[in-house]
C-alpha cells in the first residue's frame, strides 16, 4: 500500500464510527519502489489529500524531516518539496503492517502490500 492510498482510507463503515480518520498506521515491512516523478500529477493530487494525514504518514515512515507539519502555500512552485512528496506518497510501499480505526481500535491488516478493509458481519 502506498501512502497516497493511506490518505484516502477511512473506517467510517464501522457501526457507530463517525469520522474514522486518520487511521493509525503501523509499518512492519516496507519497500521503496522507484517510480517516475510526475510533478503535475502530484500537484493535481494535492487538493485530494489531508495534510495532517500526509504528515502523520511521514512520521511513521521516518521521513518527517522532509515534510513540514503544516501545509505550506504555493507547493506547486517548490519542486524540491514536490519531489519529496512524490517519494513519500508513491515510492514508499507498505508490504506488511496494519491500519487501526482511531475510534474503535479495529485493526485492518496489510498483507503483500494490499490492505484488507473488509468488515465482519456484525460490524457493519
Partner 1 sequence: MSKLWKKYILWFAQEHVDFRLAEFESLSKLFGFKFQHLSDQFLKPFWLVEFPNDETALQFASRSVALRAIFELYAHGQTLHAFHERLRNHVESHPAKVEAHFGANTSFKITVETYNKHFSQREKIDKIETMNYLPLSGPVDLKHPKVEWWYIEFWGLDPTAVPPVPDDILFGRLLAAGQRHLIKDLSLKHRKFIGNTSMDAQLSLLMANQALVAPGDLVFDPFVGTGSLLVSAAKFGGYVMGADIDYMMLHARCRPSRITQKVREKDESIRSNLKQYGCADRYMDVVVADFSNPLWHPRVSFDSIITDPPYGIREATEKVETKVTVKEGTRNSDMAHYPSTSHYALQQLYADLLDFASKHLRIGGRLVCWLPFHREDYSEATLPQHRNLQLVANSEQLLTGQTARRLLTYEKCSQTEPSDWSVPPLHVATPSEDFRDRYFNNCVESRQDRRMRKAEHREQGRLEMQRRGKVPSDSRAKKCDLNKSRFD
**Residue ranges binding partner 1 (CB under 8 A):** 1-2, 4-5, 7-10, 12-13, 21, 35-36, 38, 40-41, 44-45, 47-50, 90, 111-122, 124
Q: List the grid coordinates of 19.
A: 469520522
Cell of 36: 517516475
Distance in Å, CB of 66 to partner 1, minimum: 21
The CA-to-CA distance between both ends of the chain, in Å, stands at: 24
Specify the residue, 64 or 119, whose C-beta has the smaller distance to partner 1: 119
Alpha-carbon distance 40 to 98, whole Å?
Answer: 30
Smallest gap from residue 24 Cβ to partner 1 (A): 15
Rg (CA), the chain: 15
Closer of 40 and 74 to partner 1 (Cβ): 40
The residue among 7 and 98 lying less far from partner 1, judged by its C-beta, is 7
Say if CB 118 and CB 110 are below 8 A apart: no
Based on CB atoms, which residue is closest to partner 1, 18 or 65? 18
Amino acid at each position: 500500500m502506498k501512502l497516497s492510498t493511506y490518505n484516502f482510507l477511512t473506517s467510517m463503515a464501522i457501526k457507530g464510527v463517525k469520522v474514522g480518520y486518520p487511521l493509525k498506521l503501523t509499518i512492519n515491512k516496507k519497500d521503496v519502489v522507484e517510480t517516475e516523478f510526475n510533478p503535475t500529477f502530484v500537484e493535481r493530487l494535492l487538493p485530494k489529500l489531508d495534510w495532517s494525514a500526509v504528515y502523520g504518514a511521514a512520521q511513521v515512515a521516518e521521513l518527517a524531516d522532509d515534510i513540514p507539519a503544516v501545509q505550506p502555500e504555493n507547493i506547486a512552485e517548490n519542486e524540491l518539496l514536490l519531489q519529496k512528496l512524490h517519494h513519500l506518497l508513491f515510492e514508499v510501499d507498505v508490504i506488511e503492517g496494519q491500519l487501526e480505526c482511531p475510534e474503535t481500535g479495529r485493526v485492518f491488516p496489510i498483507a503483500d502490500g494490499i490492505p484488507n478493509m473488509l468488515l465482519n458481519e456484525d460490524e457493519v
